[in-house]
Amino acid sequence: MRRIGAFGSFDIGTAPSLGSPLIGIKALHDLATNKRNTGCDIQSKSLLIEKDAQTFKSLQTAITQYAPDKGNISLIEGEFADKIDAIQQFCQNYFSLILIDPFGPSSVPFWAVARVVAQKFTDVIMHFPSNAILRMSGHGADEPTNRISQERVKWLDDFFGSPDWKKIMQEAKEHETFRRDQVKQQIRIEETGQTEMFAVEKDEPKFLVNIAELAEQLFQKFKNKTVTREEIYYNAIFIEHVLKTDIDKALTHLKKAKRIEPQTVKPSLKQRLKFR
């Protein structure tokens, strides 16, 4: 495998494989040119920033060879934090989604992120390698805290504004592990119709979804209405950390409290539920 550019493209044998910048550029181009959007005035543009000179040249080559609509692609060589004015000017009056540093939080000070997200119509995705950060904080069994780790942890304390990020990241990791196991188990049960011998424990960690609170939230939203289970899923699935299994538990909670009345016996997406 030969790498060309910073996620610009990769050569695997004779077939090029596009990296994330080109994938994003192509997705925007496909959106603007899709026949379903005929008659809509959709304008898109892309800005790529790379600080490494060699990687920047490789990225230029990849864009020249593979990118569609090259006239709407801009490249800047330099540090993200040094180019905030140019970024804000480029994004002005556009709905903008910015991916910051796909290699982690290095070299991106909080003030730079704050200036970007303060602009209208702008949001940010910032990648944090949670496992590496936890190891740096001394959580990894094979990597005890040393002087370098302590310096890095201090930098992260300054970035996040307090040392509380350690506990939050640890809980998030446990949350992720629990949820992955829970979803895998649910998929297997739906596919096979059988429960597992060693299933995910029923008692969820305290920092996960509070079913009673979710039930109350659903009740207040649909009070005095009759809606399908599908409508409930659609409206509730966007609540932070909520999964389909949580919604089902919340509906069961409401049913036991006689606050909802199922209109059909067998649960399904089309099942209608009356909120009293």
CA distance 263 to 276: 12
What's 211-275's CATH class?
A: mainly alpha
Q: What is the pLDDT of residue 144?
A: 46
Q: What is the dihedral of CA 55, 110, 208, 132, to 10 degrees?
A: 40
* Low-confidence spans in the chain with pLDDT less than 50: 1-14, 140-144, 204
Is beta strand 15-18 parallel, antiparallel or unpaired with respect to 9-12? antiparallel
What are the start-end ranges of the H helices in the chain?
A: 20-33, 53-66, 84-91, 110-117, 130-136, 147-160, 165-192, 211-222, 229-236, 244-256
Placement of tokens 């009345």 in the chain:
261
- Asked if 209 and 242 count as a contact pair (C-beta separation under 8 A), the reply is yes
Q: What is the pLDDT of residue 146?
A: 65
Q: What is the pLDDT of residue 197?
A: 61
Instruction: Give the type of residue at 248.
Output: D
- Give the CA distances from residue 68 to residues 46, 71, 122, 147, in Å, rounded to whole numbers and listed in that order: 11, 9, 24, 48
Mean pLDDT estimate for the chain? 78
Q: What is the pLDDT of residue 119?
A: 87
CA distance 48 to 245: 40
Q: What is the pLDDT of residue 83?
A: 92
Q: What is the pLDDT of residue 165?
A: 75
CA distance 139 to 166: 9
